[in-house]
Structure 1
Amino acid sequence: MKNYRAELTGVFGDPVDDNPTGVVEEAAFAAKNLNYRYLTIKVLPEDLGKAMDSVKIFDMKGINLTMPHKIKVLPYLDELSPAAEIIGAVNTVIQKEGKLFGENTDGKGFVTALKNSGETLDKKNVTILGAGGAARAIAVECALNGAAYINIINRSIEKGEELASLIQMKTDSSAKYLNWKNNMAIPSDTDILINATSIGFSPNVTDKPDIDYTSITPEMCVCDVIFNPAETIFLKTAAENGAKTITGLGMLVQQAALNFTLWTGVEAPVDVMEDALKKEFE
């Protein structure tokens, strides 16, 4: 008998109109010949509870959460992954038999992209610019994957100290907060430097983090979470100093691939997803 009902996934956010995840996931569903759909849905903050109920009512396979719902969704979930519990934020929900399971694939996507480039986090010193949602997820996953030391550079003292303290208390890594001053020098023992802020994101493509770029050395691996444009001025300047660079495209694709597998149980066609994303930003 022909089945006309597609399995549903999607994203809840506000704003959400410019979120490209649907293009990537739909390309993957088509490549694997799966009758799945990815819906991009505007959900106002005051309607989040009803929206999460709808995930169960519509028997959706799951949903992504983007701003401003990643933390506010926690009370509506039945269970959290160990990483999501430490991070205190969720970007992916899996629904099974009326139960909602929360995961955070942002940091996992970053770590996978980093390892695919030939890097390892084991016993490495990591410096992260920012202390927001992306920074939290990346910092926790770096710690859980063996980083020895994590520097958190942030302008808000409260948020920076809170994240460094979280790493110290909940993982085996050491962490320290550094107040972000003008023309900030990157600690010289840094192995991996990560821009986890939104500085340089389209349309503000000429912006770059206010750091001392002469403190970036060829021994460092420099990463950006920004995927549009992929080659940010931050990365271009780091490359001019001889550093290895990794764009934000890998992180975005790898976290989308993790979402795909969590929802479908099928191995993600990563190459297809990467091509779909690149075409979207050409």
Structure 2
Amino acid sequence: MTTSPSSSINKIEALNSLRVLNISGANITIPYKEAVIPYLEQISEGANIVGAINTVIIKNNKLKGYNSNAIGFMHTIEEAGFDPHDKSAIVFGSGGVAMAAVFMLNWLRIKRIYISSANLVKSEEIAKRIAGEVLPIEDLLKRPLPVNIMINASPVSGVEEQPEYAEIISKLDIPECSLIVDFNYGRKRNFYQEKAESDNIKFVNGLTNLSHQARSTLSLWTGVDVPASTFREVLDNIL
């Protein structure tokens, strides 16, 4: 979708074109994940709680929105062998992806969720809307963090993108952490990956989540279930 975020007419026209062209559905990306919701006739329960969608399907000539970020994330940590029961997590970010991660962790009944981002207001909104407690960036290095999984749901993970933040992540004391998940991919120097390597922690980058997300999206559009490994093989060849 390439319309201006401020143009409601263009959003309506773009969505209606799915019906006119008999298209099964579409993906929605930044900055439309929240803005497009008022123009849909239906929204899944999970997407409604998250407050953001990234997948639209046409069902019975009605537009319905889903959040496959959350579904993809669930399968990503499942594939990594992470059991959230009685565990703690920290999620970096305050946008739609962070909301999806917090929603899924809460739905899987993880014990505790910390939310940390540069935008305290939005972090607090996620905590209030879904779950979690806000941990300001300036408090990250004050004590060891009792977390078992660390998730980067922000758009930044390259050292060259934000060197000051990369230094903070490198100094985190996370002795109980067994898995680091980054929703991003394609960074020359990924400081979350470097942290995982230095602390001997399992690392999963965004291509794994994207593969599971693609599987979920295709299934919603067509009813066809294709293994996530098939999507991952294609992504590895083109990215």
Instruction: Tell me the TM-score normalized by structure 1.
Output: 0.77
How many equivalent residue pairs? 235
Following superposition, the deviation at residue 97 of structure 1 comes to: 2.5
Q: 2:189 and 2:78 mapped to 1: Cα distance? A: 19
Alignment RMSD (CA, Å)? 2.3
Corresponding residue for 1:199? Answer: 156
1:1-282 to 2 correspondences below 5 Å: 12=1, 42-45=2-5, 46=7, 47-168=10-131, 175-181=132-138, 184=141, 188-201=145-158, 204=161, 208=166, 210-211=168-169, 213-217=171-175, 219-229=177-187, 232-281=190-239
Matched-pair contact (CA < 8 Å) for 1:113–1:254: yes
Amino acid at match of 1:278: D
Matched-pair contact (CA < 8 Å) for 2:93–2:153: yes
Q: 2:138 and 2:41 mapped to 1: Cα distance? A: 41
Q: 1:202 and 1:236 mapped to 2: Cα distance? A: 10
Task: Flag structure 2 segments of 5+ consecutive residues without an equivalent.
Answer: none
Q: 2:55 and 2:86 mapped to 1: Cα distance? A: 29
**CA-to-partner distance for each residue in 1:5-35, whole Å, 9 max, x for gaps?**
xxxxxxx2xxxxxxxxxxxxxxxxxxxxxxx
Q: 1:202 and 1:99 mapped to 2: Cα distance? A: 44
Percent identity between matched residues is 28
Task: Flag structure 1 segments of 5+ consecutive residues without an equivalent.
Answer: 1-11, 13-41, 169-174
Q: 2:138 and 2:92 mapped to 1: Cα distance? A: 12
Query: Which structure has greater strand proportion?
Result: 1
**CA-to-partner distance for each residue in 1:83-102, whole Å, 9 max, x for gaps?**
10011111001102310111
Cα 1:182–1:143 shift into 2, 3 Å: closer
SS of the counterpart of 1:137? helix
Q: 1:67 and 1:57 mapped to 2: Cα distance? A: 24
Matched-pair contact (CA < 8 Å) for 2:140–2:172: no
Matched-pair contact (CA < 8 Å) for 2:146–2:176: no
Q: 1:187 and 1:162 mapped to 2: Cα distance? A: 25
**CA-to-partner distance for each residue in 1:98-147, whole Å, 9 max, x for gaps?**
10111001121111011011111222211111111110111101111121
